[in-house]
Each structure stands twice: as structure tokens, then as C-alpha cells.
């Protein structure tokens, strides 16, 4: 997404992508019965019910951060990691139809509140109880990536090869921050099908001195690059100019 966009314009663009991603998710959900909701997901130890409950609670948490943007209050996305995890575990035991309704209703609540923010509010820094800091305009993109990643985690017929190019770019644009200081700092990551590349650490011309080492150049289709970066799959479909593709440092 162009860096020349204002925060409000960037939020609007991400909300449009999010609406489409949510519609894709809800289409998948419409095809799930109780047995399918209870089946394992791609995430170890989690059923689809866990993934769907997590998505619903994430929508509510980010909706709370929209409220913080309006009011200037200090707010954590979740009261604690322990409570967040316990809420997902308990929520996954509900009847399937309630879980699916929760996914839809929570997504609608987030969308309604996001659409009601005025342009100036999107420019406000969020006063979070712990780093990293972000603008209110970062929230739609954060939600977009949550929806798309966990849609693929459902293992219900949707995967990253079906993810639109602009959404893949939204994910891969995070790598400069997420991989900074990792074993892949420096590196250059190339999405061959998109014609884009992302430079990590000293591989980034903005932060590199003269003659700085650029690190390995890892290239392949955007979906394979993202799947590897998030730790969902190995480096299949990728190639490095330094030999074997190293393990991903992890998305977290």
C-alpha cells in the first residue's frame, strides 16, 4: 500500500480489504456443521472451534482499541494472556451454531465501530499498556491479517494461494519489523510473482551503511514466502542464493 496515504486513507483501504476477507471467512463458515467445527484445525492442539472463538475474541479486543482511540484511554487488547487463552478454551466448548454466530456478530461489531471513526481519530497514537505502539489506523490491517491467517488455519478448503495480492503484501510488509534483530537480519525476501521485495535490517537501504552486508536473498511465490515466514510450512517453493533456505525466525 502506498506510503503516501494518510492514516485515514490507509484505514479505509484496509477496511475494504478486511470486508472482503471477512466475507470469504463467513462463506467458509456457512459450510461447517457441528462435526466440522469440532474437527482439528492446522494449529496444534486447537480445533476449528478454538480458531473461530479466537477470531471472535480478537474482533472484540480490537474493537476495544477503537474505543481507546476515541477516548484516549490506556487499554490493553486483553486483560492478560492467561485470561485470553482461558476464554478461547471455554468458548470452544459452546454449541457450533453459537460459535459461528459469534464469529459473524463480532466481525460486524468491529466493522460498525471502525466505519464510525472520524478521519482525525485514525491519526491518533494508541496509548497501550505495553509495546509496540501503533496508530489507530494500524488496527484494520491488524484485523485483516488475523482474519486471513486464521481462515487458512481452519483447514477447511482455503489457503494462502487464494489470498489476494494486496493482502499478501499487507502481511509481507510486516516482515521488516517482525524479523528485525533475528537470525535473518539482514536478508532480502522476494515475492517473485508479485515483483516485490522486502529488505530486513542491514538489507534495508534506509538503515544500511556503505558496503553493508545485505544477507541472503530468499525468493519464491508470495504465498509460499508468507507460509514459511509464519511458520505454517517449511521452505518448499523457496530458494536462497546462499544455499539452503534457513528456518523462519517466526511470526510472533
With bands split at pLDDT 50, 70 and 90, how would you rate the model's confidence at 2?
low
With bands split at pLDDT 50, 70 and 90, how would you rate the model's confidence at 68?
confident
| Residue 97, in any domain of the structure | yes
| Residue 132, in any domain of the structure | yes
CA–CA distance from 57 to each of 79, 83, 136 (Å)? 12, 11, 19
Whether 85 and 203 map to the same domain: the answer is no
C-alpha cell at 128: 497501550
Whether 131 and 33 map to the same domain: the answer is yes
Whether 98 and 146 map to the same domain: the answer is yes
**What confidence score (pLDDT) does residue 211 get?**
44
C-alpha cell at 178: 517482525
Please state, in angstroms and rounded to a whole number, the distance separating the CA atoms of residues 73 and 117: 16
| Residue 35, in any domain of the structure | yes
DSSP letters for 11-72: HHHHHHHHHHHHHHHHHHHHT--HHHHHSB-SSTT-BHHHHHHHHHHHHHHHHHHHHHHHH-
Region 126-145: mean pLDDT is 83
**132, 158, 184 - which closes a domain:** 158
| Residue 75, in any domain of the structure | yes
Whether 220 and 103 map to the same domain: the answer is no
C-alpha cell at 4: 503516501
With bands split at pLDDT 50, 70 and 90, how would you rate the model's confidence at 220?
very high
Please state, in angstroms and rounded to a whole number, the distance separating the CA atoms of residues 252 and 231: 10
For residue 233, give the nearest of 116, 173, 153 by alpha carbon: 153
Say how many domains are in the chain. Answer: 2
Residue 72 pLDDT > 80, yes or no?
Answer: no
Lowest mean pLDDT among 43-47, 78-82, 173-177, 210-214: 210-214
**119, 140, 158 - which closes a domain:** 158
CA–CA distance from 197 to each of 4, 136, 187, 248, 251 (Å)? 19, 26, 10, 16, 18
**CATH code of the domain containing 185:** 3.30.1050
Whether 178 and 233 map to the same domain: the answer is yes
**What confidence score (pLDDT) does residue 70 get?**
87
**CATH code of the domain containing 117:** 1.20.120.450
Element housing 240 (H / E): strand 239-240
Tens of pLDDT, residues 106-116: 999 999 999 99
**What confidence score (pLDDT) does residue 213 get?**
63
SS (HEC) of 179-226 = CCCCCCCCEEEEECCCCEEEEEHHHCCCCCCCCCCCCCEEEECHHHHH
| Residue 37, in any domain of the structure | yes
C-alpha cell at 48: 476449528
Whether 45 and 128 map to the same domain: the answer is yes
| Residue 246, in any domain of the structure | no
Residue 212 pLDDT > 60, yes or no?
Answer: no
Whether 32 and 124 map to the same domain: the answer is yes
Please state, in angstroms and rounded to a whole number, the distance separating the CA atoms of residues 41 and 47: 5
- Residue 25 structural domain: 7-158
Whether 215 and 102 map to the same domain: the answer is no
Whether 23 and 142 map to the same domain: the answer is yes
Region 241-249: mean pLDDT is 93
| Residue 251, in any domain of the structure | no
Whether 61 and 151 map to the same domain: the answer is yes
Whether 136 and 186 map to the same domain: the answer is no
CA–CA distance from 177 to each of 57, 137, 180, 186 (Å)? 25, 17, 5, 12
Torsions phi, psi for 26 (to 5 deg)? -70, -30
**124, 158, 192 - which closes a domain:** 158
Region 9-30: mean pLDDT is 98
pTM of the model: 0.90
Whether 17 and 73 map to the same domain: the answer is yes
Amino acid at each position: 500500500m502506498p506510503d503516501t496515504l494518510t492514516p485515514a486513507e490507509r484505514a479505509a483501504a484496509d477496511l475494504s480489504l478486511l470486508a472482503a476477507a471477512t466475507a470469504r471467512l463467513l462463506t467458509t463458515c456457512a459450510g461447517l456443521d457441528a462435526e466440522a467445527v469440532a474437527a482439528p484445525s492446522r494449529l496444534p492442539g486447537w480445533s476449528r472451534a478454538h480458531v473461530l472463538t479466537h477470531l471472535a475474541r480478537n474482533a472484540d479486543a480490537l474493537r476495544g482499541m477503537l474505543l481507546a482511540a476515541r477516548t484516549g484511554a490506556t487499554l490493553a487488547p486483553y486483560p492478560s494472556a492467561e485470561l485470553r487463552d482461558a476464554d478461547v478454551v471455554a468458548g470452544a466448548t459452546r454449541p457450533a451454531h453459537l460459535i459461528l454466530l459469534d464469529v459473524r456478530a463480532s466481525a460486524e461489531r468491529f466493522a460498525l465501530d471502525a466505519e464510525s471513526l472520524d478521519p482525525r481519530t485514525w491519526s491518533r497514537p494508541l496509548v497501550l499498556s505495553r509495546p509496540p505502539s501503533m496508530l489507530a489506523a494500524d488496527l484494520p490491517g491488524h484485523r485483516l491479517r488475523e482474519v486471513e491467517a486464521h481462515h487458512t488455519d481452519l483447514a477447511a478448503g482455503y489457503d494462502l494461494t487464494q489470498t489476494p495480492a494486496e493482502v499478501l503484501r499487507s502481511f509481507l510488509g510486516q516482515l521488516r519489523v517482525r524479523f528485525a534483530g533475528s537470525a535473518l537480519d539482514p536478508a532480502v525476501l522476494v515475492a517473485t510473482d508479485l515483483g516485490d521485495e522486502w529488505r530486513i535490517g542491514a538489507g534495508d537501504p534506509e538503515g544500511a551503511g556503505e558496503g553493508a552486508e545485505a544477507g541472503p536473498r530468499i525468493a519464491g511465490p508470495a504465498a509460499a514466502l508468507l507460509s514459511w515466514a509464519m511458520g505454517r510450512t517449511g521452505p518448499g517453493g523457496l530458494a536462497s542464493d546462499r544455499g539452503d533456505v534457513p528456518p523462519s525466525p517466526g511470526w510472533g
